[in-house]
Amino acid sequence: MHNHTLIRKAKAVVTCDAADHILHDVDIRIEEGKITRIGAGLDPIGCEIIDASHSFVYPGLINTHHHFFQTFVRNLMSIDYPNMLVVEWLDRIYRVFKEIDSDVIYHSSLTAMADLVKHGCTCAFDHQYCYTKKTGTSPVDRQMEAAGTIGLRYHAGRGCNTLPRSQGSTIPDEMLETTDAFLADCERLIDAYHEPDPFGMHRIVVAPCQPINSHPHTFIESAAFARDKHVRLHTHLGEGENPIMKARHGKRTLAWCEEIGFVGPDVWFAHAWELDAQEHAVLAATGSGVSHCPAPATLGGFPILDIPGMLEKSVPLSLGCDGSATNDSSNLLDSLRMAYLMQAFHGKSRNRVPSPYEMLKIATVGGAQALGRSELGSLEVGKAADLFFVDVDMLELCGTLHDPANLIARAGVCGPVERTIVAGKTVWEHGRFPTLDERELAREGNRICTERMAPHFPL
Ligand SMILES: [Zn+2]
């Protein structure tokens, strides 16, 4: 019986530490889910040995925005996101969302989490705002169950919508909740799952879905509640809703969030595509973070973030897949390369393109900052053993190996990674989940999708 793990002779370790160290031919010793030593020729006694002599090792990617429940509403051309405004899309897609039940939540979450883990993600936040008559308050409980099955480090955003359609929202009435019921369930979930200590596997985030689809007091009370409980806050911002906010409140969304106190180092926003340079300065001054999701930005035709400009101002930036209905995958490696290519395309004329390695750091160190997890995001002694391997003895990677730091975002890794380790445990290796029957789970998920969701898809 081995108590510890030794990753032996890694061909390269891209640490993503503050000094941007790239180490070669080193061992990594892991004890109790943490990295305890990094160096050449470490003592292997008492350790399970993992050979990494043909592998590049990276810190696990951190996904800071997603909607797992949308995974069974993918590839649906009858509600085609690129061909409509986001508010129109919301109006139509919610009619399908209201058919989601508790089993759909479990299997769609499991599917998304498996895709993430296969592609090097070790810690994910999900923004769960789909509460129907059929799910009741079960979704986060079912997601925690799925995270335990896959072995992913998981932050659940408990979302909500409180504003009726009659008052201008896009939400079917049967999917509305009251602010009191929402906050009561947040409290229940925090008591049941939130692990505030460093290295915890599960956390809860208070995350009303978006300002246009809730009463203002939902956001005001959420901010007060989250601060009282010392948990983080999240919502959508700058994705086409500004004209509605101006008509309702006389100001853009970020100014409204600032006015009600929904900004700060404990807050991060999904998207921020439509924010201007002055608003970037507000994000930087308040320490509010952004989750950049390149796939829906592209499919929705949104402005491309000026990442070098935002980094210059020290806006905390991280990376997300976003909902599976606007991506339509949960492959964060793919989103990382897409984010880099978009920056190259749009940055060329501005004469400032971030390096692929800078984009990798947004997906690792940046993600850790967004989630308030300074013990994640880099490979250093004392940090969590959350990491992934890329087997570099592969023909498609020949000729790229001279620069491990830039490889992931520039050349890209197509297909699953070699191995993913979360909290010191291997959760994916050599094409299989060590504790799961993947084919059986895929068949069961497809059966549930076909039975429960497909009959409600518009033609
Ligand atoms: Zn989203």
Q: Which residue has the tokens 């990276």?
A: 58
> Residue 87 Cα, ligand 1 centroid: separation in angstroms?
13
* 130: its two tokens: 């789909």
In terms of phi and psi (left: phi > 0; alpha: psi -120 to 50; beta: otherwise), the region of 44 is alpha
- Write down the pLDDT at residue 1: 57
- Write down the pLDDT at residue 349: 75
Pairing of strands 387-391, 55-59: antiparallel
* 186: its two tokens: 């947040």
> Which residues in the chain are classed under CATH 3.20.20.140?
61-370
Cis upstream peptide for 437 (omega within 30°): no
Side-chain half-sphere CA neighbours of 316 within 13 A: 23
> Residue 381 Cα, ligand 1 centroid: separation in angstroms?
34
- Write down the pLDDT at residue 74: 93
> Residue 18 Cα, ligand 1 centroid: separation in angstroms?
30
Q: What DSSP string describes 294-347?
A: HHHHHHTTPPPP-HHHHHHTT--EEE----GGGT----HHHHHHHHHHHHHHHH
Which CATH code for domain 61-370? 3.20.20.140
| Contact of 86 with 239, CB cutoff 8 Å | yes
Superfamily of domain 4-60+379-429: Urease, subunit C, domain 1 (2.30.40.10)
| Contact of 322 with 116, CB cutoff 8 Å | no
> Residue 236 Cα, ligand 1 centroid: separation in angstroms?
6
Handedness of CA 332, 338, 344, 350 (dihedral sign): negative
Rounded to whole angstroms, how far apart are CA atoms 205 and 159?
A: 9
- Write down the pLDDT at residue 88: 86
Where are the alpha helices (H) located in 163-276, listed in sequence order?
179-193, 216-229, 242-249, 253-260
* 354: its two tokens: 């971030």
Distances (CA, A) of 56 to 24, 52, 387, 393, 456: 9, 8, 10, 10, 45
> Residue 22 Cα, ligand 1 centroid: separation in angstroms?
34
> Residue 40 Cα, ligand 1 centroid: separation in angstroms?
43
| Contact of 100 with 136, CB cutoff 8 Å | no
> Residue 66 Cα, ligand 1 centroid: separation in angstroms?
6
3-state secondary structure of 197: coil
Distances (CA, A) of 183 to 116, 139, 186, 189: 29, 15, 5, 10
> Residue 89 Cα, ligand 1 centroid: separation in angstroms?
12
Q: Which residue has the tokens 């899309």?
A: 89
> Residue 391 Cα, ligand 1 centroid: separation in angstroms?
32
> Residue 119 Cα, ligand 1 centroid: separation in angstroms?
20
All residue ranges of the chain with pLDDT < 50 are: none
* 346: its two tokens: 């749009």
> Residue 244 Cα, ligand 1 centroid: separation in angstroms?
18
> Which residues in the chain are classed under CATH 2.30.40.10?
4-60+379-429
Taking the model in full, what pTM does it have? 0.98
Q: What DSSP string describes 15-64?
A: ---TT--EE-SEEEEEETTEEEEEETT---TTEEEEE-TTEEEEEPEEE-
Rounded to whole angstroms, how far apart are CA atoms 2 and 49?
A: 9
> Residue 324 Cα, ligand 1 centroid: separation in angstroms?
9
